[in-house]
């Protein structure tokens, strides 16, 4: 049964056929060679605190999202929408992925659909995930989503190809949901919860729900108790508690100290819940003559500290420092401090704009 979303913008469905036995269809422009101006759809590996060295697959133009979260590390949403589109042909993503994996062997733990935006807005998602699983079966495939489109049966069907799906759920009360996630008009928390329940029912992979806690927004014991109650009815494989660590889109969004995170964790007893810890990277350091571009690709998606970038891109701290200094000098990146740490980002990121605004 379809969900009733009062006042929801009609969603453009892709004409992609979703049969597990069918071959992915061809998309316009899918067979052409790369042009000089094309930005890679692959970035990282990103130093993910929960997945390890996660090679990012980004199919969404920045910053296209169904939410405009106050804590977003990718800055303010500039295109707030629920309309799904094929922003890039899946064949081009596969080509970028092949090229990256052959240039940087052994540096990836997992492939992750993640972006400065919402990945389920990609209308060819099912085809892309199917192709990636078919071509790179040895690498686990994850999708990070805000869960806002799970009420759509096509989206739920698309996601079945992923080994791990991590939807976020920051609040179950409408007021807190609106305040933190600032959703596209017409999108309600009730519809999202209904979608999450339906997805759990059919999905055979690993479902982990991320809850991001923002001080004075969704950390009240009553909200946490309510959230935990709802999650028990969903029955995810795990719950991951997170907080604001990187510079947020809105300066008022701040994280919880460790002691309060542990207090919050107590509410989620029986849900296989944990607090997401710091990234523990490492491995072999290699010289990389494309390092500047890889740093720009990474910072194009989210701000990072130098040590995180060195660990995830497998270069020495000294080599990273040298590249960062050159990029700062040329004005390609900017630095600013947040929570006592120094972060780097592109000069055009929304963080700076939101601070001014
Ligand atoms: S945190 Fe995720 S869901 Fe929220 S605005 Fe940013 S990209 Fe969108």
> How far away, in angstroms, is 351 Cα from ligand 1 center?
13
pLDDT band at 39 (very low <50, low <70, confident <90, very high): confident
- 118 Cβ closer than 6 Å to some ligand 1 atom: yes
* Host H or E run for residue 338: strand 334-338
If you measure from the C-alpha of residue 170 to the centroid of ligand 1, how many angstroms do you get, rounded to a whole number?
11
**Which residue has tokens 């989206």?**
155
Given pLDDT bands bounded at 50, 70 and 90, which one contains residue 19?
very low
| Pocket lining: 72 vs ligand 1, CB cutoff 6 Å | yes
Q: What is the pLDDT of residue 347?
A: 87
Q: pLDDT band at 270, cuts 50/70/90?
A: very high
Average pLDDT for residues 203-207, to the nearest whole number? 97
pLDDT digit string (tens) for 129-140?
999 999 999 999
Pocket test residue of 74, 145, 148, 350 for ligand 1, highest count of atoms within 8 A of CB = 74
| Ligand 1 pocket residue status of 117, Cβ below 6 Å | yes
User: Does residue 210's CB lie within 6 angstroms of at least one atom of ligand 1?
Assistant: no
pTM of the model: 0.78
Confidence of residue 22 (pLDDT cuts 50, 70, 90): very low
The least confident of 11-15, 276-280, 339-343 is 11-15
The residue ranking higher by pLDDT, 148 or 4, is 148
User: Is 146 near ligand 1, meaning CB less than 6 Å away?
Assistant: yes
Q: What is the pLDDT of residue 317?
A: 79
User: Which value, in Å, is the radius of gyration of the alpha carbons in the chain?
Assistant: 20
CA distance 12 to 15: 9
* Phi, psi for residue 107 in degrees, rounded to 5: -110, 5
**Shortest-distance Cα residue to atom 1 of ligand 1:** 72
Q: Which residue is listed with tokens 């107590």?
A: 266
Q: How confident is the model at residue 278 (pLDDT cuts 50, 70, 90)?
A: low
- % of the chain surpassing 70 pLDDT: 82
The pLDDT, as a whole number, for residue 316 is 75
Say what the pLDDT of residue 288 is. Answer: 63
> Which atom of ligand 1 approaches the CA of 148 most closely?
3
Return the SS3 of 153.
helix
- Ligand 1: centre distance to CA 209 (Å): 15
Which residue has a Cα nearest atom 4 of ligand 1? 69
What is the average per-residue pLDDT within 252-270? 95
Please determine, for residue 23, whether its predicted confidence score (pLDDT) is greater than 50.
Answer: no
Helix (H, G, I), strand (E, B) or coil at 37: coil
Span 87-98, average pLDDT? 96
Give the pLDDT confidence score for residue 253 in this predicted structure: 95
Instruction: For residue 233, list its beta bridge partners.
Output: none
pLDDT score for 312: 72
Q: Does the CB atom of residue 67 touch ligand 1 within 6 A? A: yes
- Confidence category of residue 40, pLDDT binned at 50, 70, 90: confident
Kindly report the average pLDDT of the chain as a whole number.
84
In Å, what is the CA distance from 171 to each residue of 87, 193, 203, 236, 250?
30, 10, 22, 16, 18
As a whole number, mean pLDDT of residues 228-244 equals: 97
Q: What is the pLDDT of residue 293?
A: 86
All domains of the chain, ordered by start, with CATH? Answer: 42-276 (3.20.20.70), 290-357 (1.10.10.10)
Q: What is the whole-number distance in angstroms between the Cα of residue 118 and the centre of ligand 1?
A: 7
């Amino acid at each position: 049964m379809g969900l009733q979303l009062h006042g929801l913008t009609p969603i453009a469905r892709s004409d992609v056929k979703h049969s597990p036995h069918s071959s992915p269809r061809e998309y316009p422009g899918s067979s052409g060679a790369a042009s000089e101006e094309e930005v890679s759809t692959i970035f990282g590996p990103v130093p993910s605190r929960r997945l390890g060295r996660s090679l990012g697959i980004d199919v969404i133009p920045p910053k296209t999202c169904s939410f405009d979260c106050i804590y977003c590390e990718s800055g303010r949403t500039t295109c707030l929408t629920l309309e799904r589109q094929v922003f890039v042909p899946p064949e081009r993503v596969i080509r970028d992925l092949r090229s990256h994996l052959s240039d940087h062997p052994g540096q990836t733990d997992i492939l992750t659909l993640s972006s400065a935006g919402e990945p389920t807005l990609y209308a060819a998602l099912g085809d892309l995930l199917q192709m990636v699983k078919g071509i790179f079966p040895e690498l686990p495939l994850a999708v990070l989503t805000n869960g806002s489109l799970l009420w759509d049966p096509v989206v739920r069907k698309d996601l079945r190809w992923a080994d791990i799906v991590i939807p976020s759920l920051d609040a179950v009360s409408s007021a807190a949901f609106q305040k933190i996630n600032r959703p596209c008009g017409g999108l309600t928390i009730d519809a999202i919860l209904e979608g999450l329940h339906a997805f759990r029912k059919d999905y055979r992979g690993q479902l982990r729900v991320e809850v991001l806690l923002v001080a004075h927004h969704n950390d009240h014991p009553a909200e946490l108790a309510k959230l935990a109650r709802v999650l028990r009815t969903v029955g995810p494989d795990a719950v991951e508690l997170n907080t604001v660590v990187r510079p947020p889109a809105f300066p008022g969004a701040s994280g919880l100290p460790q002691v309060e995170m542990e207090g919050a964790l107590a509410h989620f007893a029986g849900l296989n819940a944990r607090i997401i810890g710091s990234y523990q990277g490492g491995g072999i350091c290699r010289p990389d003559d494309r390092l500047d571009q890889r740093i720009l690709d990474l910072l194009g998606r989210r701000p990072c500290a130098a040590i995180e970038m060195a660990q995830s891109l497998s270069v020495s701290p000294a080599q990273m420092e040298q590249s960062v200094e050159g990029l700062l000098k040329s004005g390609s990146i900017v630095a600013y401090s947040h929570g006592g740490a120094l972060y780097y980002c592109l000069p055009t990121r929304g963080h700076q704009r939101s601070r001014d605004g």
